[in-house]
Amino acid sequence: MTTVGFVGLGAMGTAMVERLLDAGHTVIGHNRTKSKAEGLLAAGMQWAGSPRAVAEAVDITLSMIANDKALQAITTGPAGILAGLGPGKVHVSISTVSPTIVRELAAQTAEKGAQMLDVPVSGSPVTIRQGKLTFMAGGDEAALEQVKPILLDIGQRVTYIGPSGSASVLKIAVNINVPVQLLGLFEAVILAEKNGIPRELALEVMLNSAIASPAMQYRGPFALKLPEEPLFDVTAMLKDLKLALELGRDADVSLPTTAVTEQIILAAKAMGFAAEDFAVAFKVLARLSGLDE
């Protein structure tokens, strides 16, 4: 087994570290708020005082944080991951962030004689605990082969996409599909309900028809009841939609349904739902249509 570093112990990071510990790895972790790591420390994770301390202690450091700003915060500066890297070491960034930031940090990492991989994921904490998480990987292929066994102790599949930043591009493209599909499903349910068909019946029929992708079968029921803990909140979804729209503008790609979806999710934030799962968009559409939520 391997000693692995991990920075960023939110819901996703915690579930990943749990998998690594269960697989027998030694994990040295850090999080901005130590109290969030109490359960992992009780389960055997070791604590490091900074991202730099994590990177100094191991050959492979994984990080899972919220956005571009957070990634730069844990990687740069005297206490950042970059300061703890050296020849032969690898930083695996699992976050969904700007490909531009990834490429900049990868270049800075290479100057240290180390490698940075962008390895975003498709899944949620539930998917991780089921062992069904999938990874998209960008960067040096030899470095990926070095870390792949660790990734496969977290999830079920690792697909190499191309140079640094390419996996981040693909992840952003993947991520716009679920909210766009979900809004289409919610519109259909509301249309049926406004014309006299009970919400539950409309949803049941739709989720057992040809229009129901696996993602819709999983998230569609949130029209009836939101999860107690958000799987992917409004703030996080707005971040991903913004990244997609920026990529589209840079590449002269029209993304009309993504733009409309962003407006609905932005309305959810304005209504006070920022911390709710983004499926709260059903409430937004219901209000716009004069329905009880």
Statement to judge: residues 77 and 222 lie in one domain: no
Does any domain span residue 218?
yes
Per-residue pLDDT of the chain (293 residues; tens, 9 = 90+): 799 999 999 999 999 999 999 999 999 999 999 999 999 999 999 999 999 999 999 999 999 999 999 999 999 999 999 999 999 999 999 999 999 999 999 999 999 999 999 999 988 888 999 999 999 999 999 999 999 999 999 999 999 999 999 999 999 999 999 999 999 999 999 999 999 999 999 999 999 999 999 999 999 999 999 999 898 999 999 999 999 999 999 999 999 999 999 999 999 999 999 999 999 999 999 999 999 87
Statement to judge: residues 149 and 243 lie in one domain: no
pLDDT on residue 292: 81
Statement to judge: residues 13 and 86 lie in one domain: yes
Which CATH number do you get for residue 86?
A: 3.40.50.720
Does any domain span residue 168?
no
- Choose the final residue of a domain: 109, 128, 163: 163
Statement to judge: residues 284 and 212 lie in one domain: yes
Statement to judge: residues 88 and 22 lie in one domain: yes
Which CATH number do you get for residue 273?
A: 1.10.1040.10
Number of structural domains found in the chain = 2
Does any domain span residue 121?
yes
Statement to judge: residues 110 and 37 lie in one domain: yes
Does any domain span residue 201?
yes
pLDDT on residue 30: 98
pLDDT on residue 149: 97
Statement to judge: residues 15 and 148 lie in one domain: yes
Statement to judge: residues 32 and 136 lie in one domain: yes
pTM given for the model: 0.92
> According to the 3-state scheme, what is the secondary structure of the chain?
CCEEEEECCCHHHHHHHHHHHHCCCEEEEECCCHHHHHHHHHCCCEECCCHHHHHHHCCEEEECCCCHHHHHHHHCCCCCHHHHCCCCCEEEECCCCCHHHHHHHHHHHHHCCCEEEECCEECCHHHHHCCCCEEEEECCHHHHHHHHHHHHCCCCEEEEEECCCHHHHHHHHHHCHHHHHHHHHHHHHHHHHHCCCCHHHHHHHHHCCCCCCHHHHHHHHHHCCCCCCCCCEHHHHHHHHHHHHHHHHHHCCCCHHHHHHHHHHHHHHHCCCCCCEHHHHHHHHHHHCCCCC
- Choose the final residue of a domain: 107, 133, 163: 163
Domain span at 16: 3-163
Does any domain span residue 170?
no
Statement to judge: residues 94 and 156 lie in one domain: yes
Statement to judge: residues 9 and 152 lie in one domain: yes
Statement to judge: residues 212 and 284 lie in one domain: yes
pLDDT on residue 79: 98
Does any domain span residue 293?
no
Statement to judge: residues 118 and 209 lie in one domain: no
Does any domain span residue 228?
yes
Does any domain span residue 88?
yes
- Choose the final residue of a domain: 163, 198, 228: 163
